[in-house]
């Protein structure tokens, strides 16, 4: 397994593979890998075959975190990640650094530079020399996009950059981040990226909690309270099974009540929507999709499911 951290080296390697006619499968991650990530790696391997190459990127992307979010304390353990990747048969782990991905990101610019950037119309709270973003304008308005206003701009931008560096034929994303996957598919279609997107199922713990790097934050009894997201999904499913079509507003209220029975749980949002367009529905029915975000203490967890 090769570890590549230089972005020019990654692109050169990918171009060499292309010339040799090898299929490239790609799994972008933020690291602190778990079995859910590894299931995406297996899917990539199955898709490109043993003669293809599988690349996993590990990069905690600063531009998808809001100023008050957990960027600096996001869990990181590169040594362990590399072990897991090696055991999973990954060919290349790509670990770019902020300095190359976002030149001069986080550097304090001179007051003259800040003034100039602002005068040119930038509304950035943290101006930087990096100034080209990809913005998906429809699917990203609701749910995660409403709660985390610059999140998807950071996601689409970094994924586009990674696609340009890794040149994948196929990239695998998780159902766990349903809205993200929908937005990436839209970006690929709108901007004609020559890559197919696979969306693979969510892996869960035995008690239903979706695996997530952020589960590390769930210490003490927060861990058991976190199963309430899965309980909410079950309640919604049972409700739809019984009544076929159920008013979304009424179901939202019932789920909020269930969730907030846990002492440290606070609902951020729960939404019922059409799975492809993400358009909210007034009545939830079989085939409707639901997604929710819940704070368990200070940790914000997300999950989603088809009903």
Q: DSSP class of residue 280?
A: B
Judged by CB under 6 A, does residue 302 bind ligand AMP? Answer: no
Q: Applying CB under 6 A, which of residues 36, 52, 127, 168 lies at the interface with ligand AMP?
A: 36
Q: 293: which 2 tokens? A: 């975000």
Helix or strand (DSSP H, E) at 220: none
Judged by CB under 6 A, does residue 40 bind ligand AMP? Answer: yes
Of 28-36, 68-76, 78-86, 259-267, which part binds ligand AMP (CB under 6 A)? 28-36
Q: Applying CB under 6 A, which of residues 55, 211, 218, 228 lies at the interface with ligand AMP?
A: 211
Considering the complex, what minimum distance in angstroms separates the CB of residue 30 from ligand AMP?
4
Considering the complex, what minimum distance in angstroms separates the CB of residue 27 from ligand AMP?
7
Considering the complex, what minimum distance in angstroms separates the CB of residue 33 from ligand AMP?
8
CA 252/CA 223 separation, integer angstroms: 23
* Plot region of 293 (φ>0 → left; ψ -120 to 50 → alpha; else → beta): beta
Beta strands in the chain (DSSP E): 2-4, 24-29, 53-58, 92-94, 170-174, 196-200, 246-247, 265-273, 283-284, 289-296, 299-306
Judged by CB under 6 A, does residue 251 bind ligand AMP? Answer: no
Q: With respect to ligand AMP, which residue has the nearer C-beta, 63 or 212?
A: 212
Q: Applying CB under 6 A, which of residues 128, 157, 213, 288 lies at the interface with ligand AMP?
A: 213
Q: If we measure between CA atoms, which residue out of 254, 298, 293, 258 comes closest to residue 146?
A: 293
Judged by CB under 6 A, does residue 210 bind ligand AMP? Answer: yes
- How many residues of this chain interact with ligand AMP, rule: CB under 6 A? 16
Beta-bridge partner residues of 24: 53
Q: With respect to ligand AMP, which residue has the nearer C-beta, 31 or 127?
A: 31
Q: With respect to ligand AMP, which residue has the nearer C-beta, 175 or 288?
A: 175
Q: Applying CB under 6 A, which of residues 81, 136, 169, 177 lies at the interface with ligand AMP?
A: 177
User: Kind of pairing, strands 283-284 and 246-247?
Assistant: antiparallel
Residues 186-205 that bind ligand AMP (CB under 6 A): 202-203
User: Do 300 and 285 contact (CB within 8 A), yes or no?
Assistant: no
Catalytic residue (one of 37, 151, 286, 289): 37
Told to judge if 289 belongs to the known catalytic residues of this protein, a careful annotator would answer no
User: Do 42 and 187 contact (CB within 8 A), yes or no?
Assistant: no
Residues 135-174 that bind ligand AMP (CB under 6 A): 173-174
Q: If we measure between CA atoms, which residue out of 283, 265, 258 comes closest to residue 273?
A: 283
User: Do 153 and 279 contact (CB within 8 A), yes or no?
Assistant: no
Which residues are part of the catalytic machinery?
37
The contact set with ligand AMP (CB under 6 A) reads 29-30, 36-37, 39-40, 173-174, 176-177, 202-203, 210-213
């Amino acid at each position: 397994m090769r570890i590549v951290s230089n972005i020019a080296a990654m692109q050169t390697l990918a171009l060499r593979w292309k010339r040799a006619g090898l299929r490239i499968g790609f799994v972008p991650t933020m690291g602190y890998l778990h079995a859910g990530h590894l299931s995406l790696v297996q899917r990539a391997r199955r898709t490109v075959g043993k003669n293809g190459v599988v690349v996993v990127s590990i990069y905690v992307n600063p531009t998808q975190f809001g100023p008050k979010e957990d960027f600096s304390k996001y869990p990181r353990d590169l040594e362990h990640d590399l072990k897991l990747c090696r055991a999973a048969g990954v060919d290349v782990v790509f670990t770019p650094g902020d300095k190359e991905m976002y030149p001069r990101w986080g550097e304090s610019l001179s007051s003259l530079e800040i003034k100039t950037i602002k005068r040119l119309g930038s509304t950035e709270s943290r101006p930087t020399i990096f100034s080209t973003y990809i913005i998906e304008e429809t699917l990203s308005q609701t749910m995660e996009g409403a709660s985390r206003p610059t999140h998807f701009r950071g996601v689409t931008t970094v994924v586009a950059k990674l696609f340009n560096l890794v040149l994948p034929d196929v990239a695998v994303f998780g159902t766990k981040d349903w809205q993200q996957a929908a937005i990436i598919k839209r970006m690929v279609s709108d901007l004609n990226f020559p890559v197919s997107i696979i969306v693979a199922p969510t892996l869960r713990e035995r008690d239903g909690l979706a695996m997530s790097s952020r589960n590390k934050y769930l210490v003490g009894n927060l861990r058991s309270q976190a199963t309430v997201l899965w309980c909410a999904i079950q309640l919604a499913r049972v409700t739809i099974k019984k009544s076929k079509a159920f008013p979304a507003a009424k179901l939202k209220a019932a789920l909020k009540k269930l969730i907030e029975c846990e002492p440290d749980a606070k609902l951020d949002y729960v939404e019922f929507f059409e799975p492809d367009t993400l358009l909210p529905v007034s009545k939830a029915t079989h085939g409707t999709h639901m997604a929710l975000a819940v704070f368990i203490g200070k940790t914000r967890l997300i999950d989603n499911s088809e009903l």
